[in-house]
Amino acid sequence: MSDLVRTLLAQHAETTRLLGVDFLPLGRPSPSVIPEPEPVGSSTVRDVAPRASAAVEPKAPPRLATAASVSVRACHEHLSDPQAKLDAVRDRYLADAPHQHFVTSFTNVVFGEGDPRARLMFVGEAPGETEDQTGRPFVGRAGQLLDKMIVAMGFSREQVYICNVLKTRPPNNATPTSEEARLCAPYLIEQIRIVSPEVIVTLGLPATHLLLETAAPMRELRGRWWSFPPGREGDGSGFIGASIMADPDLPTIPVMPTYHPAYLLRSYTEENRRKVWSDLKQVMDRLRAGSPA
């Protein structure tokens, strides 16, 4: 067994301990095939050309994301079943293909999955390589850690709803830009509207910046409660815009920002892991307080 494998296994066990999980799931890969860490994304990374078969040349983007949101909402208003509504929004996304307005390289659209009536929603930034291959969110190394976080909170993956801001993989796993997030925001907002969770956990800065309409660093955002929408008096200058903020049918939902699991894997310190667990415990306390007696 190599030193790298021993290190990864030790880190895996320590994370399990810190998150309060006292068992290991079955069916884990052999240590000999543990993958290398996923590439670290950056909003400035655009130097790796997408595959020719999947590359999409950017087109001029629509001027207002708010107008798109009105149109997206109309696609499901006649439906009553939450899953049918989510399916309608996914179909509308496929028809609109907002990713045509920015450079992307993907195999599958990764829309979201989980309980359409979930009390808890996790919002990440974009699909990675494994997610792109499977069409499912958070199933790579970061997803395995998220699964442990969910179990440690007392839920199963099937009991929560998981999605990303972007529905297609950026080239080289690059961090989504604010413009890319803005173009995909209407579809995420409809996912939030339909699921109407009691709490949203934003994983990483792109999701947090989008939903809270802020550019503050994570150290100033995590560990405390925020709300989505962040202000009903929005002037339209943020990512989302005034017309959505003023929508009376959009529920006000508590938001807890925390570090993305991929960041936790890269910056593998006990301090960071304790911070994440502290954030998750606040979410657990809030959900517990909202549960019927």
- 153 has a pLDDT exceeding 70: yes
* Predicted pLDDT of residue 38: 39
For residues 206-221, give the mean pLDDT. 95
Number of H helices, E strands in the chain: 11, 6
**C-alpha to C-alpha distance for 63 and 67, rounded to whole angstroms:** 9
Q: Mean pLDDT across the chain, nearest whole number?
A: 79
Q: What region does 216 belong to: left with phi over 0, alpha with psi -120 to 50, or beta? A: beta
The secondary structure of 103-164 as a DSSP string is -B--SS----EE-TT-SEEEEES---HHHHHHT-SS-SHHHHHHHHHHHHTT--GGGSEEEE
Please give the single-letter amino acid code of residue 38.
Answer: E
For residues 221-228, give the mean pLDDT. 96
Per-residue confidence band for 291, with pLDDT thresholds at 50, 70 and 90: confident
User: What is the domain class of 62-290 according to CATH?
Assistant: alpha beta
* Predicted pLDDT of residue 43: 34
- 169 has a pLDDT exceeding 70: yes
- 134 has a pLDDT exceeding 80: yes
**Domain regions of the chain by residue span:** 62-290
**C-alpha to C-alpha distance for 287 and 264, rounded to whole angstroms:** 24
* Predicted pLDDT of residue 108: 96
For residues 54-78, give the mean pLDDT. 57
User: Percentage of residues in the chain with pLDDT exceeding 90?
Assistant: 60
pTM score, whole prediction: 0.76
- 179 has a pLDDT exceeding 80: yes
